[in-house]
């Protein structure tokens, strides 16, 4: 179920504003013909003593700790090598963004944005890189780092889901609140979080391209044995998402074109009510009389989290967290 939480007053959308936050502090990179001189300046120039926030300065690589909140688990070695070659030729064109660490840390600076550039600079043999120093509290540093990584276009679905979950957990945000701050629809976050309900094998099949994001959403709401069986079948037979949905419904004993079975001894008027309710919400509905007179339960079946959301919306409720 979606995480509940008290709405936070007038939170800014940091997701869409992070690039402007960083860019406003970065000086324009020199033209390509000047990059050779700029690169040597970056190598030779010692760190400025005053370290003014928002102004590019050269920082030794050995003084920068990697981003501790980096969601990406794998870096493409070929792409890193290409970037390293470019840096050897042209230098680091876009400064990294760093913040000062507190006392007692192993290195004086921690990376906020620019993980690939940092790694490629090391491969290129640079001793120092241009950086923009941001003054930030620990909370701001964490939030900026998480948002910068969430906004990466090359995160795979599992890494993106883990980044969303980490962001929500660390700041006690609901899906709706996280979506507001990131400028992302709540449904997008919810659909990614469902991937974390997949087994490790199913997640790997998704990463390997054997399953699509649509397949993953269908499988996420299933019990583990059924999830694995249908995932293997979908991958082996190249099933469409719709075909997988039909298999999932069939596995639950549900047929969309068949009316609910009449329970033995149930009053005809209750059966008629059940049929009407089933047609109204698009799933099986059972009216179960209670032990006391004029009491009972209305039981609505759902077959996956997408189905649950659809039924809730059909009933007029709003999932806002």
Q: Is 82 a catalytic residue?
A: no
Query: Under DSSP, is residue 180 helix (H, G, I), strand (E, B) or coil?
Result: helix
**Which domains are present in the chain?**
14-147 (3.90.1530.30), 156-251 (1.10.10.2830), 268-314 (no CATH)
The strand pairing partners of 132, in sequence order, are 56, 97
Cα separation, 95 vs 111, in Å, equals 11
Residue in 45, 115, 148, 237 annotated catalytic: 115
pLDDT tens, N- to C-terminus, the chain (321 residues): 444 444 444 444 444 444 444 444 433 334 333 444 434 433 334 444 445 555 578 999 999 988 776 656 667 788 888 989 999 988 888 898 888 876 667 788 888 888 889 999 999 999 999 998 887 776 777 677 677 777 766 778 888 898 888 888 888 888 888 888 888 888 888 889 888 889 999 999 999 999 999 999 889 878 888 899 999 999 999 999 999 988 988 876 554 444 445 555 677 777 878 888 877 777 788 888 888 878 888 988 877 676 777 788 778 776 655
What lies within 8 Å, CB to CB, of 256 at 6+ separation is 249, 282
CA–CA distances in Å: residue 177 to residues 142, 148, 257: 17, 17, 39
Q: Find, among 148, 132, 126, 145, the residue nearest to 27 by Cα.
A: 132
Q: Find, among 128, 127, 146, the residue nearest to 136 by Cα.
A: 146
What lies within 8 Å, CB to CB, of 201 at 6+ separation is 228, 231
Largest distance between two CA atoms of the chain: 90
Would you state the structure tokens that stand for residue 268, as one six-digit string?
A: 């005809």
The strand pairing partners of 134, in sequence order, are 99
User: What φ, ψ does residue 96 adopt, rounded to 5°?
Assistant: -75, 160
**Is this model's pTM higher than 0.85 or not?**
no
């Amino acid at each position: 179920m979606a995480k509940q939480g008290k709405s936070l007053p007038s939170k800014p959308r940091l997701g869409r504003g992070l690039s402007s936050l960083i860019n406003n502090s970065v000086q324009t990179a020199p033209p390509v013909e000047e990059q050779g001189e700029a690169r040597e300046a970056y190598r030779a120039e010692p760190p400025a003593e005053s370290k003014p926030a928002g102004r590019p300065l050269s920082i030794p690589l050995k003084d920068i700790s990697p981003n501790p909140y980096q969601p990406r688990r794998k870096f493409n070695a070929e792409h890193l090598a290409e970037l390293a070659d470019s840096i050897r030729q042209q230098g680091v064109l876009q400064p990294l963004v760093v913040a000062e660490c507190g006392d007692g840390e192993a290195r004086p600076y921690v990376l906020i944005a620019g993980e690939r550039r940092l790694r490629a600079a090391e491969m290129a043999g640079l001793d120092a890189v241009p950086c923009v120093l941001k003054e930030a509290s620990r909370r701001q540093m964490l939030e900026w780092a998480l948002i910068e990584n969430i906004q990466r276009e090359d995160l795979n679905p599992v890494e993106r889901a883990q980044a969303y979950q980490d962001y929500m957990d660390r700041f006690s945000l609901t899906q709706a609140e996280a979506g507001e701050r990131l400028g992302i629809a709540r449904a997008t976050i919810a659909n990614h979080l469902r991937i974390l309900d997949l087994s490790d094998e199913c997640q790997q099949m998704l990463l390997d391209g054997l399953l699509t994001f649509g397949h993953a959403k269908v499988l996420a709401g299933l019990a583990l044995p059924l999830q694995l069986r249908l995932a293997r079948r979908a991958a082996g037979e190249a099933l469409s998402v719709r075909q997988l949905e039909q298999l999932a419904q069939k596995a639950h004993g549900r047929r969309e074109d068949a009316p609910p079975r009449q329970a033995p001894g149930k009053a005809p008027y209750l059966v008629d009510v059940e049929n009407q309710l089933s047609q109204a919400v698009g799933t099986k509905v059972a009216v179960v009389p209670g032990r006391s007179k004029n009491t009972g339960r209305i039981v609505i079946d759902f077959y996956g989290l997408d189905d649950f959301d659809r039924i809730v919306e059909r009933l007029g409720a709003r999932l806002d967290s």
